Amino acid sequence: MNRKRIRDIRNEELIEATIVAVHNHGYSVVTMADIAREAGASAASINYYFGSKEGLMEATMRYLLRKLRTAMITGYKTSHSPTDRLYAVMDANFSDQLFTVEQCSIWMQFWANAPYSPHLARLHRLNRARVRSHFRAELRHLLPAEGVETARQALQNYMDGAWLQAALSDQPLDPVSARAAARRVVDLVLS
13: left (phi over 0), alpha (psi -120 to 50) or beta: alpha
Query: What type of residue sits at position 169?
Result: S
Say whether 40 sits in a helix, a strand or coil: coil
How would you write the pLDDT of the chain (191 residues) with one tens digit per residue? 565 554 555 788 889 999 999 999 998 899 889 998 988 888 888 888 888 888 888 899 999 999 999 999 999 999 999 999 999 999 999 999 999 999 999 999 988 888 888 888 998 999 899 999 999 999 999 999 999 999 999 999 999 999 999 999 889 999 999 999 999 999 999 99
At 18, the amino acid letter reads T
Q: Which residues contact 128 (CB under 8 A, 6 or more apart)?
A: none
- For the CA atoms of 150, 86, 126, 64, the dihedral, rounded to the nearest 10 degrees, stands at 130
